[in-house]
Homo-oligomer: A and B are copies of this chain.
Amino acid sequence: MSAPASRIPGQRVTINDVAALAGVSKGAVSLAFNNRPGVSPATRERIFAAAGELGWSPNQTARNLSGQRAGIVGLAICRPARLLGLEPFYMEFISGIEDVLAERSCSLLLRLVRDLDEETALYKEWWRGRTVGGAILVDFHQDDPRIAPLRTLGMPAVAVGHPSLTGGFPSVWTDDASAAAEAVRYLAALGHRRIARVGGPAGLGHSGIRAAAFEDTMTELGLDGRRQVATGFVGEEGARATRSLLTAPDRPTAIVYDNDIMAVAGAAVAAEMGLAVPDDLSLLAWDDSQLCRLTHPPLSAMSHDVHQFGEQVARTLFGVIEGTHTGAYQVPTPSLTPRGSTGPPRRT
């Protein structure tokens, strides 16, 4: 049994070192780490302790074998850093990804980029430099310029977005069109005729899908009191859009927001303008989060488990890397959770 102190610092640790330190065979180390029977609990503990002391994990072995950093998954996000810090969506999404990655002793390599060209160049560098074993592609645009170069690259990747946007990449998506239609139908059923939507950036694919579904459903229901405002997902912009909608003639009696933070901002604007929620104004958030339950009244929302969505994206990526997944995976459609912020409009 070799003492760990005799190893040269920085020298690569192998499964042999772990087996030697724990006083077991290589096969026993493998069984222990693959959570398979054949190793007693006490031996398993000894193996884990030896691996911990040496800083070894089975992951490192996989990496040595493949010559590829399968233990690292890349995620480039093309949004200003300050904005990212303010958007609850991404942190919940990333936390879901991390949950699945941690199970497999994998880590997420995160980079903010300024534009899609920089993003494409980064993925080329990560893949050719063997930095990542695969990547998660987000925020698809119409005719997204990343698709062609990244398909050529051959890096395993999962695209987050509707298959109509993601150019043949294996994808994970939510049916935003049906959810947007459900939101409008619910408000119409409560008696609202003038419904507005405070949406995300016009260029983003999923914002476009929601905007079109909003228009179509309003038309289908014969409601022409519709207005849509595009924003950058920031609370202040949600507040500004709400003030502008509420001070216009024929103000809406209901507003649908594309994220939770803008809906919270909308509720504060209603309070500031002396409008009662929901009697004077109904508010409906998207991507239900704890924020929606913490306001008074709590906000009705299109509930969507963003954490679970992130988990599914990570699981799908592992499927792509292992060659067991190729198509599109649809997660549950966001569904309406009515709370105190929506109700019939007051008769005037």
- A10-32 CB contacts (< 8 Å) to partner B: 10-13
Flag if A55 contacts B290 (CB, 8 Å): no
Tell me, yes or no, whether A88 is within 8 Å of chain B by CB.
yes
**Which of A35-43, A93-101, A246-254, A278-286 lines the interface with chain B?**
A93-101
Contact (A102, B113) CB under 8 Å given A235-B290, A268-B294, A294-B261: yes
- A294's partner among B9, B13, B112, B265 (CB-CB below 8 A) is B265
- A34-68 CB contacts (< 8 Å) to partner B: 51-52, 54-57, 59-60, 63
- Tell me the smallest distance from the CB of A16 to a CB of chain B, in Å: 15
CA gap between A241 and B111 in the complex, in Å: 37
- A307-328 CB contacts (< 8 Å) to partner B: 307
List the B side residues contacting A95 at CB < 8 Å: 81-82, 84-85, 112
List the B side residues contacting A261 at CB < 8 Å: 290-291, 294
Flag if A268 contacts B295 (CB, 8 Å): yes
**Considering only CB atoms, which chain B residue lies closest to A71 in the complex?**
B131
List the B side residues contacting A129 at CB < 8 Å: 12, 55, 60, 63
Tell me, yes or no, whether A127 is within 8 Å of chain B by CB.
yes
CA gap between A108 and B57 in the complex, in Å: 20
Tell me, yes or no, whether A296 is within 8 Å of chain B by CB.
yes
Looking at chain A, what size class is its interface with the partner chain? 35 or more
**Which of A117-125, A182-190, A193-201 lines the interface with chain B?**
A117-125
List the B side residues contacting A10 at CB < 8 Å: 128, 130
Contact (A85, B294) CB under 8 Å given A128-B12, A128-B55: no
Flag if A86 contacts B81 (CB, 8 Å): no
Flag if A102 contacts B111 (CB, 8 Å): yes
Q: Interface centre among A69, A87, A109, A114, by most B CB within 10 Å?
A: A109
**Considering only CB atoms, which chain B residue lies closest to A272 in the complex?**
B296
List the B side residues contacting A82 at CB < 8 Å: 95, 99, 307
Contact (A85, B236) CB under 8 Å given A99-B112, A112-B98, A291-B264: no
- Tell me the smallest distance from the CB of A155 to a CB of chain B, in Å: 10
- Tell me the smallest distance from the CB of A60 to a CB of chain B, in Å: 5
Contact (A85, B306) CB under 8 Å given A102-B113, A108-B110, A113-B102: yes
Mind listing 30 A-B residue pairs with CB under 8 Å?
Answer: A9-B128, A9-B154, A10-B130, A11-B128, A52-B120, A55-B125, A55-B128, A81-B307, A82-B307, A84-B95, A84-B98, A85-B93, A85-B95, A85-B307, A86-B88, A86-B92, A88-B91, A91-B91, A95-B112, A98-B110, A99-B112, A107-B109, A107-B110, A110-B110, A235-B290, A235-B291, A236-B293, A239-B294, A264-B294, A272-B296
What 17 additional pairs, Cβ within 8 angstroms, besides A85-B96, A94-B110?
A9-B154, A52-B117, A54-B124, A74-B107, A81-B99, A85-B93, A85-B94, A86-B88, A87-B91, A90-B91, A107-B109, A108-B110, A109-B109, A261-B294, A264-B291, A264-B295, A268-B294
**Leading 7 A-B pairs by shortest Cβ distance:** A55-B124, A85-B95, A85-B92, A271-B296, A91-B91, A81-B99, A81-B95
